Amino acid sequence: AQKVTQAQTEISVVEKEDVTLDCVYETRDTTYYLFWYKQPPSGELVFLIRRNSFDEQNEISGRYSWNFQKSTSSFNFTITASQVVDSAVYFCALSEARHNTDKLIFGTGTRLQVFP
């Protein structure tokens, strides 16, 4: 069965601190996709990144970086030098590629609060 676990329910940091949001997934498929979405207080979901299961290269985009490790089934997300605007709920999600469907299985989310 597919499952996404975000063990950290809530994280509070002070501005400029680095913070890592953990994501562990379970799937029986060899081909799958992993995502991170940001949900600010206004409610909309903002797409941050998608990775396919064959690409384990880490990725950096500005202050954001992602560490994908198949050996531990983890896809962790790090924000460097956090800012107040980073405060949001962050969701990790999994999509399996079989059956030509891309249903997203979401984790329970991690609420990040960045204090000035």
Q: Which residues bind another protein (CB under 8 A)?
A: 33, 35, 37, 42-47, 50, 52, 91, 95, 97, 101-109, 111
The whole-angstrom separation of Cα 27 and Cα 25 is: 7
Residue 10: CB minimum distance to another protein, A: 10
The whole-angstrom separation of Cα 38 and Cα 93 is: 11
Q: Which residues pair with 75 in a beta bridge?
A: 68
DSSP 72-94: GTEEEEEESS--GGG-EEEEEEE
Residue 97: CB minimum distance to another protein, A: 6
Instruction: Using the structure block, give the residue that is written with the tokens 């029986």.
Output: 28
Comparing CB distances to another protein, the nearer of 4 and 79 is 4
Comparing CB distances to another protein, the nearer of 15 and 102 is 102
Residue 77: CB minimum distance to another protein, A: 15
Comparing CB distances to another protein, the nearer of 12 and 16 is 12
